[in-house]
């Protein structure tokens, strides 16, 4: 028998909930009904979210590198940094299974390329080949164009090279440092000494030699080592403190005279050339170095992968022979080792600049 009161009560009674489900789903927002999530379930969901985030981050790290890596060389093509970047980039590319390209961004003593690298995305896909001058800028320029210690994350030390004093034999009739000093003293202000830019190792070498030998020579700054090489061979300038790899072929061909190396020991590439200490100038110590850096904030996982790849490349016999033939001592090692070296080198060069009254003029 139809009973209207009971029918009305049945329509108004709420439907029973499925007690096996903790959350009701809104057909519009698809969001959980937080009123029915217990404390235990909240912990479970939070744990799942954290685990998911960690999994995503791990997947991202494992997928690096997924595309081309660029090494910015802040100097013109043909100089030592450019040569080394191309040699090691090819081998590391095979390790990383991604192309590595070298991009030259020269100017302002390397500052243009270095600043461009500092502004790059900090994901490991842009690196910069830093050199001796990177540690000079903070002390030489006011204000400094960049801070190598705070704006970059070290990747790996590449190596060191001897700095060699070379002269054009047609301009300077000297085969030893002593001969050169005598000539310079007999012609004060007449000898033109080239550098690849203000604040580089060549500039530092010139100023040190002026002080140590008591000579007056003119500093002619260029915008890169490649331009110096042509003018030195052509006789437009007389002398240059060059990185040995760049001038080695011209030395062996007799187009340039190598007078001394500014290192502790003679170079195996030119064993007949003495050190400055052996020539009577023990304070003439300049060790150009090269290291790979990434923008600050680059994930450590990516730094570690890059470091491992380049260290593996340095162990390749073919790479070792090429470096040795160029007069380069391979370094390698951890990223922290490069960080410590940069800190020490920056302090040492700051003292050197102050003692020699070197300015950016």
pLDDT in tens, 271-306: 999 999 999 999 998 888 999 999 999 999 999 999
Please tell me whether residues 144 and 167 are part of one structural domain.
Answer: no
pLDDT digits (tens, 9 = 90+) for 85-120: 999 999 999 999 999 999 999 887 788 999 999 999
pLDDT digits (tens, 9 = 90+) for 301-312: 999 999 999 999
Flag whether 28 is in a domain: no
Flag whether 42 is in a domain: no
Is it the case that residue 239 has pLDDT exceeding 90?
yes
Please tell me whether residues 154 and 189 are part of one structural domain.
Answer: no
Please tell me whether residues 317 and 346 are part of one structural domain.
Answer: yes
Is it the case that residue 53 has pLDDT exceeding 60?
no
Is it the case that residue 331 has pLDDT exceeding 80?
yes
Flag whether 40 is in a domain: no
Flag whether 279 is in a domain: no
**Where is the domain boundary, 244, 261, 278?**
261
126-131 and 289-295: which strand pairing?
Answer: antiparallel
Between residues 44 and 344, which one has the greater pLDDT? Answer: 344
Q: Domain range spanning residue 134? A: 66-160+288-355
Share of the chain above pLDDT 90, in %: 59
**Structural domain total, the chain:** 2
Please tell me whether residues 167 and 257 are part of one structural domain.
Answer: yes
CATH of the domain at 250: 3.40.190.10
Q: Are 203 and 219 in contact (CB under 8 A)?
A: yes
Is it the case that residue 13 has pLDDT exceeding 80?
no
Please tell me whether residues 253 and 297 are part of one structural domain.
Answer: no
Stated pTM of the model: 0.71
Please tell me whether residues 220 and 297 are part of one structural domain.
Answer: no
Q: What is the pLDDT of residue 19?
A: 38
């Amino acid at each position: 028998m139809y009973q209207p009161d009971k029918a009305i009560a049945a329509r108004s009674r709420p439907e029973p909930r499925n007690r096996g489900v903790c959350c009701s789903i809104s057909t519009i927002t698809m969001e959980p009904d937080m009123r029915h999530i217990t404390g235990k379930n909240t912990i479970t969901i939070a744990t799942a979210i954290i685990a998911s985030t960690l999994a995503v981050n791990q997947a991202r790290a494992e997928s690096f590198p997924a595309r081309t890596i660029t090494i910015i060389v802040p100097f013109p093509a043909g100089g030592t940094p450019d040569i080394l970047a191309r040699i090691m980039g090819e081998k590391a590319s095979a390790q990383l299974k991604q192309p590595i390209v070298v991009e030259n961004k020269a100017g302002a003593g390397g500052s243009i390329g270095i600043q461009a690298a500092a502004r790059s995305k900090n994901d490991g896909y842009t690196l910069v080949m830093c050199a001796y001058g990177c540690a000079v800028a903070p002390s030489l320029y006011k204000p400094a164009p960049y801070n190598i210690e705070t704006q970059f994350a070290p990747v790996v030390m590449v190596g060191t090279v001897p700095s060699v004093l070379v002269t054009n034999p047609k301009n300077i009739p000297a085969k030893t440092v002593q001969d050169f000093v005598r000539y310079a003293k007999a012609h004060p202000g007449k000898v033109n000494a080239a550098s690849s830019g203000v604040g580089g190792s060549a500039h530092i070498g010139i100023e040190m030699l002026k002080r140590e030998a008591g000579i007056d020579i003119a500093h002619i700054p260029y915008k890169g080592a490649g331009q110096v090489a042509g003018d030195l061979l052509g006789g437009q300038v007389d002398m240059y403190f060059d990185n040995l790899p760049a001038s080695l072929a011209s030395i062996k061909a007799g187009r340039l005279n190598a007078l001394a190396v500014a290192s502790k020991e003679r170079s195996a590439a030119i064993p007949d050339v003495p050190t400055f200490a052996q020539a009577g100038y023990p304070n003439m110590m300049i060790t150009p170095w090269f290291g790979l850096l990434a923008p600050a904030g680059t994930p450590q996982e990516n730094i570690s992968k890059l470091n491992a790849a380049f260290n593996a490349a340095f162990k390749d016999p073919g790479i070792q022979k090429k470096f040795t033939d160029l007069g380069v001592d391979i370094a390698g090692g951890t990223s922290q080792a490069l960080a410590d070296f940069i800190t020490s080198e920056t302090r040492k060069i700051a003292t050197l600049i102050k003692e020699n009254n070197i300015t950016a003029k």
